[in-house]
Amino acid sequence: MLNKLMYGMVLVTMVGVLSARAQDVKVLTLSDAVRLALDQNLNVLQAQNNVEAAQSGVLAAYGTYLPTLSANAGWQRQQTDRGASTTIVNGNVIPLAASSSTTTNYSAGVNLGYTIFDSFNRESNFKKSVSSAVQSEEIASRTRQAIVYQVQSSYLGVLRNEQLVKVNEENLKRDQRQLERIEESNRVGSLSIGDVYRQQSQVALDEVSLINAQNTYDKSKADLLSLLGLDLANDYTIADASIPSAIDSTESRTARDVASRFGEYRTRALASRPDYKSANESFKSAEYGVTSAWSRYFPTISASAGYGLQSTEISSLSNNRGLNWGLNIRWTLFDGFATNQSIQAAAVQKRNAELTLQQTERNVSVDVKKALLDLDAAQKQYDASVRSVISAEQDAKVAEERYNLGAGTLLDLLTANATLVNAQANKVNATYNFITAKRNLDYVIGEKTY
């Protein structure tokens, strides 16, 4: 009775521990992983900071269209010391004693200034600031897209490795069952001890393969958690029901159709890719820079007005008032070829920005072409892997039946099983290669915003 009671207590304790562990395990879906990456990735945060800085530059450029207003107030004390001296009045020498005087001056005023015309330099700088802000936003958008694709690839890699672990587990179980049958047949004398040894060796190899597959899965999971900035001490389950483990025929046919539409997807990518938009804005900004450099050849016109108070006593400060206003024209006639140098430098930046834009367009075209080729190849590989698995399963089944009936050899069975394992692994790889290729096409086109 006491033993039964102790057994019950131990069982309850184990159930409680397992339940607690189950509660500690957190399920991490792909959407959760993407959200965490966008919230915590340092590159994303830095890109967003650059956007805010560029937006403040737009506000500052807009401020140049507004007048400047300043106020001033001052207090000044001046002391004058005169030493003893003489002066002549009507031929008489009159001595003058040493003296000291102190004066105090109070002042206050308001000044208003406004630039009426600066040879379109202000307009050019404003447009450059707007282009820089747009460029920063596009760079931030592409950074988010890159991080999302990186997380998706890493997440799919974990799922792929998990499926490969399952393939190796099933293979080990299958060979262990076969080993049990061979050992039993050996005991009754129908099979030789050599078959037992060969099958034991195969089971050992299967265990090594499983250990390697499990290790690869664990490391890929650790890489994903590290990418998301999560604590590796916590246990997470990587699972997402929205990601299929197999590809249906409709999706496969759609992929074949997509792979032949390069022109359409190239046009969409050029219209959507943030990095191409950023390069285009950089070219516009360089054009505005040339205009800004040319503006130094022309005059600048400004207006000013001021109102001031001044007195030696603060109580009478308002008695002495002054008001001034006027226009100022400034024109640099010669600056030692500095303006010419600025124009040449701005023109070079414009040409370089144009070349960068052309190169970016080429990169987009290449990216789209490669993505479509990868998708087409992934679709064909998946279809071939499905046929390979069906054929390998039938071959393994026939080889097992022939061996059990004594018509086949163990080597034939081992070869068939190895072919089946390779076919199953190839199907897993082909499945996730296809899913990754689709995600890569989305990333290459750049239409999705995060």
Strands 68-82 and 99-117, bridge-based pairing: antiparallel
75 bridge partner residues = 106
- Residue 332, Cβ neighbours under 10 Å: how many? 12
Question: What is the rounded distance in angstroms from the CA atom of residue 83 to the CA atom of residue 99?
Answer: 7
How far is it, in rounded angstroms, from Cα 269 to Cα 441?
10
In angstroms, rounded to a whole number, what is the distance separating the alpha carbons of residues 307 and 244?
76
> Domain 27-67+119-301+334-445, what fold?
Outer membrane efflux proteins (OEP) (1.20.1600)
Q: Tell me the two tokens of residue 423.
A: 């076919």
- The Cα 384–Cα 378 span in angstroms is 10
Q: Where are the domains of the chain?
A: 27-67+119-301+334-445
Rounded-to-integer distance, Cα 327 and Cα 333, Å: 19
Instruction: Give pLDDT, residue 25.
Output: 67
What does the DSSP 8-state code read for residue 261? -
Please give the Cα distance from 444 to 442 (Å, whole number): 6
Output the CA–CA distances (angstroms, integers) from residue 292 to 91, 165, 166, 286, 432, in the order listed. Answer: 72, 63, 65, 10, 53
Long-range contacts of 383-387 (CB under 8 A, 24+ apart): 383/252, 384/430, 385/423, 385/426, 385/427, 385/429, 385/430, 385/431, 386/427
Residue type, position 422, single letter: N
pTM of the model: 0.80
Query: For residues 186 and 193, what is the distance between their CA atoms, to the nearest angstrom?
Result: 6
pLDDT tens by residue, the chain, 450 residues: 434 433 344 344 444 434 444 445 689 999 999 999 999 888 999 999 999 999 998 898 888 888 999 999 988 888 777 767 777 777 777 776 777 778 888 889 999 999 888 888 888 888 999 999 999 999 999 999 999 999 999 999 999 999 999 999 999 999 999 899 888 888 888 788 988 899 899 999 999 999 999 999 999 999 999 999 888 888 899 999 889 888 887 887 788 788 788 999 999 999 999 999 999 999 999 999 998 888 888 888 999 999 988 888 887 888 888 899 989 998 888 888 888 998 999 999 999 999 999 999 999 999 999 999 999 999 999 999 999 999 999 999 999 888 888 888 888 888 999 999 999 999 999 999 999 999 999 999 999 888
What are the strands, taking DSSP E only, across 65-98? 68-82, 85-89, 92-96
Distance CA 361, CA 145 (A): 18
Instruction: Write out the two tokens for 115.
Output: 């630039």
